[in-house]
Amino acid sequence: MSVTAAAGFRAAGVAAGLRATGGADVALVVNDGPLDSAAAVFTSNRAKANPVLWSQQAIAGGTARAVILNAGGANCFTGAFGFQTTHRTAERVAERLGIGAVDVQVCSTGLIGVGDEAFRAGVLRGVDLAADALAPGDDAGLAAAQAIMTTDSRPKQAVVAADGFTVGGMAKGAGMLAPGLATMLVVLTTDAEVEADLLDRALRAATRVTFDRLDSDGCMSTNDTVLLLASGASGIRPDEAAITAAVTAVCDDLARQLHGDAEGASHDIAIEVRHAASEDDAVVVARSVARSNLFKAAIFGNDPNWGRVLAAIGTTDASFDPYAVDVHFNGVRVCHAGEPDRPREEVDLSPRATSIVIDLFAGDATATVRTNDLTHDYVHENSAYAS
């Protein structure tokens, strides 16, 4: 189960005709309470889609009763008409559920620039269909997770059962996975009794070490949203450490699934930086490698080209001596103290799981950033995305 694993939640996923290829494309998640605490983290992209602009305002008070999500159009750069579409969507959900429009979070995914009359009509039709289909249980949660897929090859769901309470979640995303304190669309639910300020701290602590360290292609979405809703239906009030640990575990599971479904990837790469002067330095160094097209192309070609690693990390302002660095590819130390070490032929890059370890010998901090290789399939899929 995913968003329906926690008590107090119902969900639905329906087909409203937004996808040219057919299939489910509108999802609805409802918090039946008794609490309506909520927190969210949104893309830091200055170019924000209309649903993000709406949802940022609506959740300012720390509450939410429902989340409506659609595939088939991002409703971004669609002008005043697009924002009105988002507003009308929230109003329709509110009307069907007997709540206020401000209690509704709106999320969209798909092609930028899509948001005409036909799109609006499809989304509103989807609201009605989803409201009629709302249900608890596994099937409803799976239907919602399937409805928000775009280029995803499979739905992403995760659940953690903690001490008397549950955290569940669903996510979509297979490209444009770059840090903006969120990654594509994620809805998390819990039946714990948690107030909004604590939910917000737990969510930000979780996203910082999970979604924010997933850097598939260095491209940041306009629609990235991570939502966390608490129903309080379990009657359990966990402390901050417990709720943060559970939310982080679900976010980490979902981030791994997003990582493994990156568009066209043939290698799932974990770049671990050890012995950095600070955690921030470790993240900066790992991300510099994750965003190197030369490095990513080398991995696609099964080439353990450690020179591209050193070239990438040398562009950062992190504190380390580039001539004292060790680099390991899948357990083989190919570079020691900035010089060649083991022969490249000893490295096996044929498995999909790929480990890069960079030892800076500059301190005690560590961090891992997840990325993937740059493939022909990725280029093809994104060149034909709008066709």
Selected catalytic residue, list 4, 183, 189, 375: 183
What SS3 string covers 34-100?
A: CCCEEEEEECCCCCCCHHHHHHHHHHHHCECCEEEEECCECCCCCHHHHHHHHHHHHHHHHHHHCCC
CA atoms within 13 A on the CB side of 358: 37
Tokens read off for 11: 């969900």
Q: Hey, what long-range contacts does 171-175 have (CB within 8 A, 24 or more apart)?
A: 171/145, 171/254, 171/257, 171/258, 172/71, 172/109, 172/145, 172/148, 173/258, 173/261, 174/150, 174/258, 174/261, 174/262, 174/263, 175/151, 175/216, 175/217, 175/219, 175/262, 175/263, 175/378, 175/381, 175/382
Q: Cα separations (Å) of 36 from 32, 68, 228, 229?
A: 8, 16, 10, 7
Largest Cα span, the chain: 67
Q: Which amino acid is at 361?
A: F
Local structure of 302: helix, strand or coil: coil
Cα separation, 283 vs 290, whole angstroms:
10
Cis previous bond, 340, omega within 30: no
Of 164, 189, 159, nearest in space to 239 by CA: 164
Q: Within a 10 A sphere around the Cβ of 153, how many other Cβ atoms?
A: 10
- Exposed e or buried b per residue across 4-14, where buried means at least 16 C-beta atoms within 10 angstroms of its C-beta: bbbbbbbbbbb
183 is catalytic: yes
Active site (catalytic) residues: 183
